[in-house]
């Protein structure tokens, strides 16, 4: 927000100048006050205070106007600072040229003629010189506050801009990662259908029905970063039923997910992708086939998803590498360091394990 359009800036500036000039006036630092001894000229004193505040307030607005015009050069660049102080310097020369004549002429309105003080040229020069540096000091003190605020505002704007960019990149990365899942999944399903078109038309119809349900779930999942676990389980069941039609007795599976876990939200298609990889890289390469276990369980502070399949782990395969990287990146983007993914082989079984801290788990 531009300072000149911010009422808080004007309030701060006026209060600052009133306070600091009032403080110095009580110590009789200004132009005329100390020249009239103990005589009571309160109205003239008030007018002097008013004139100082108004004059410095005008200078402050001019300075801020210059600052906001040149801040694109960079607030900490020498060029900006030199221009700013040159403008402030010239403003104070103009201020001194008008302030003294006004104050001298005002004696007729506030001070009886017999008390008028006749200034010599040397006195006027000395007074102007001393007060020039005095008022310049006040302006510089004020400028320090304004400059500090402008730097703070600039840093905050840069931080907001950086966070906005990071958020947009995060969303773009998630959409890209989702885009890696859906085409790959559709491609595999269509291959399954193609293999059964002539062999078993009835099973082909059933597979097309299952596929339509899967596509509907897939399209809906692309609209959100999280879906209920129940929806993800339905997607997995449809995929496994399609796969079972193709692999027949070579594929058996068991889904052990308690219904009380259905309330949790997980990244869309992430469990389905683990199952898909288990079929493609595990069951399909085994002559006698194998089994797949899909399971969820809770620990004290984590929620866990596990997919176990018969077979051996081969991380050198390109598809496996892409799948692992995809899952790791999605978990990192969505949960930072609050979720972990591991893939290992034990006793001729491949175990994929996702662990999510309950503190960040949506339910």
The per-residue pLDDT for 218 is: 67
The per-residue pLDDT for 315 is: 63
- Check whether residue 329 and residue 215 sit in a common domain: yes
Q: Choose the final residue of a domain: 120, 145, 164.
A: 164
User: What pTM was estimated for this model as a whole?
Assistant: 0.52
Residue 274 in domain: yes
Q: Choose the final residue of a domain: 164, 183, 215.
A: 164
Under 8 Å between Cβ of 268 and 221: yes
The per-residue pLDDT for 172 is: 52
Query: 45-99: per-residue pLDDT in tens?
Result: 677 778 888 888 888 888 888 888 887 777 778 888 888 888 888 888 888 778 7
Q: How many domains does the chain have?
A: 2
| Measured distance between the N- and C-terminal CA atoms of the chain, rounded to whole angstroms | 39
The per-residue pLDDT for 269 is: 81
**Angle at Cα 289 formed by Cα 212 and Cα 341, nearest 5°?**
70
Closest CA to 259 of 228, 236, 292: 228
Average pLDDT, the chain: 78
Residue 183 in domain: no
Which tops the pLDDT comparison, 185 or 212?
212
pLDDT above 80: residue 276 = yes
Residue 34 in domain: yes
**Residues 279, 250: Cα–Cα separation, whole Å:** 11
**Residues 39, 249: Cα–Cα separation, whole Å:** 113
Under 8 Å between Cβ of 318 and 272: no
Q: Identify the CATH number of the domain in which residue 335 sits.
A: 3.30.565.10
Query: 84-139: per-residue pLDDT in tens?
Result: 888 888 888 888 778 777 877 777 777 666 666 666 677 667 767 777 777 888 88
The pLDDT of 291-312, averaged and rounded, is: 93
Query: 324-349: per-residue pLDDT in tens?
Result: 777 888 888 788 888 999 999 988 89
């Amino acid at each position: 927000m531009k300072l000149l359009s911010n009422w808080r800036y004007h309030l701060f500036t006026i209060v600052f100048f009133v306070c600091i000039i009032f403080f110095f006036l009580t110590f009789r630092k200004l132009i005329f006050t100390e020249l009239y001894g103990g005589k009571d000229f309160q109205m003239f004193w008030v007018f002097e205070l008013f004139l100082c505040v108004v004059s410095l307030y005008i200078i402050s607005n001019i300075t801020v106007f210059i600052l906001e015009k040149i801040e694109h050069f960079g607030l900490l660049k020498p060029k900006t600072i030199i221009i700013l102080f040159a403008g402030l310097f010239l403003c104070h020369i103009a201020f001194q040229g008008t302030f003294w004549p006004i104050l001298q002429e005002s004696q007729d309105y506030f001070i009886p003629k017999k008390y008028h003080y006749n200034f010599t040229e040397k006195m006027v020069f000395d007074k102007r010189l001393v007060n020039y540096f005095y008022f310049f000091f006040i302006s510089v003190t004020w400028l320090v506050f304004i400059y500090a605020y402008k730097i703070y505002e600039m840093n905050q704007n840069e931080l907001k801009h950086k966070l906005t960019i990071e958020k947009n990149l995060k969303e773009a990365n998630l959409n890209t990662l989702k885009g890696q899942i859906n085409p790959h999944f559709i491609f595999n399903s269509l291959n399954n259908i193609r293999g059964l078109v002539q062999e078993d038309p009835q099973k082909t119809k059933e597979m097309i029905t299952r596929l339509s349900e899967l596509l509907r779930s897939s399209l809906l999942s692309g609209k959100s970063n999280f879906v209920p676990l129940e929806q993800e389980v339905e997607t997995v069941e449809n995929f496994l039923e399609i796969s079972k039609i193709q692999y027949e007795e070579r594929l058996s599976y068991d889904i052990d997910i308690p219904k009380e876990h259905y309330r949790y939200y997980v990244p869309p298609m992430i469990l389905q992708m683990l199952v898909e990889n288990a079929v493609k890289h595990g069951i399909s390469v085994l002559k006698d086939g194998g089994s797949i276990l899909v399971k969820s369980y809770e620990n004290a502070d984590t929620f866990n998803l596990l997919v176990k399949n018969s077979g051996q782990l081969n991380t050198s395969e390109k598809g496996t590498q892409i799948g692992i990287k995809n899952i790791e990146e999605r978990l990192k983007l969505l949960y930072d360091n609050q979720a972990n993914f591991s893939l290992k082989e034990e006793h001729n079984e491949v175990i994929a394990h996702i662990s999510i801290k309950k503190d960040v788990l949506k339910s």
